[in-house]
Copies of this chain bind each other. A is one copy, B any other.
Amino acid sequence: MSESLRIVPQPMRRQVEEGLRAAIVNGRFAPGEHLPDRVLCDLFGASRSVVREAVRLLEAEGLVTVQPNRGPFVAHLSPEEAAQIYDVRGVLEALAGESFARHATDGERAELRAVWEDLATRGPGASREDLLAIKRRFYDVLLAGARNAYVARMLDQLLNRNMQLRATSLSDPGRLAWTVKELKRVLDAIDRRDPDETFIACREHVQRAADVALRLLATHSPSPDAEPPS
């Protein structure tokens, strides 16, 4: 853990990339919205080269889709895509949990349980932001203990991709209690050093979250907002 002390001046490109990503996942840009590079340029005060490179990265992450000769658009999340994302999230999170059960240190296990207890003691009055932040910490600890950089990167992408849906599903009344109960099963499996059971518990947890989110998505907004291109 000899963390390098050298400071790296964050390149302009990375600032644009992170700013744009944050703006998209926080909903400051509506899905389907057109983002001409001109407006991105003077929004971030950067040149076209920088903006275009940043857009390429977000395109690879799936957050924006670039139509030829028309430019970048905020990606639209259809119910089918959402279901697919949850499927992938399920197996990746299951793998992360399984790896955590295998490789995590005692300190990391204790830390994960601490985060869970933080979540469990929140009343139902907690704000969406708080809940998302706690779940974020949960994932951070989980992925750190899983010792697998690839599953961490891919899961990060997927969590960014369906941030809006997670916010809605977390705000569902009564969902918090189920989340706490499902995660307890994960924690118990981890403490019993049972990777297989951890795998199953994690995947099932995501499946439940997907059911809630997709049900909300189907009933609450039967007709999506922006135009599905082509």
Cβ of A85 < 8 Å from any Cβ of B? Answer: yes
When C-beta atoms are compared, the residue in chain B nearest to A53 turns out to be: B56
When C-beta atoms are compared, the residue in chain B nearest to A17 turns out to be: B56
Pairwise interchain contact A8-B68, C-beta atoms closer than 8 A: yes
Residue of A68, A81, A99, A150 ringed by the most chain B CB atoms within 10 A: A150
Residue of A61, A90, A148 ringed by the most chain B CB atoms within 10 A: A148
For the complex formed by this chain, how many copies does it contain in all? 2
Cα distance A35–B53 in the bound complex, in angstroms: 18
Pairwise interchain contact A88-B56, C-beta atoms closer than 8 A: no
Interface residues on chain A, number (Cβ under 8 Å):
33
Q: Which of B88, B91, B151 contacts A84 (CB 8 A)?
A: B151
Instruction: Identify 19 new A-B residue pairs, CB closer than 8 A, beyond the known A57-B60, A88-B151.
Output: A11-B68, A52-B53, A53-B53, A56-B56, A56-B60, A57-B57, A57-B59, A60-B60, A62-B153, A84-B150, A87-B99, A88-B95, A88-B148, A88-B150, A90-B95, A91-B91, A91-B94, A150-B158, A154-B154
Cα distance A38–B90 in the bound complex, in angstroms: 43
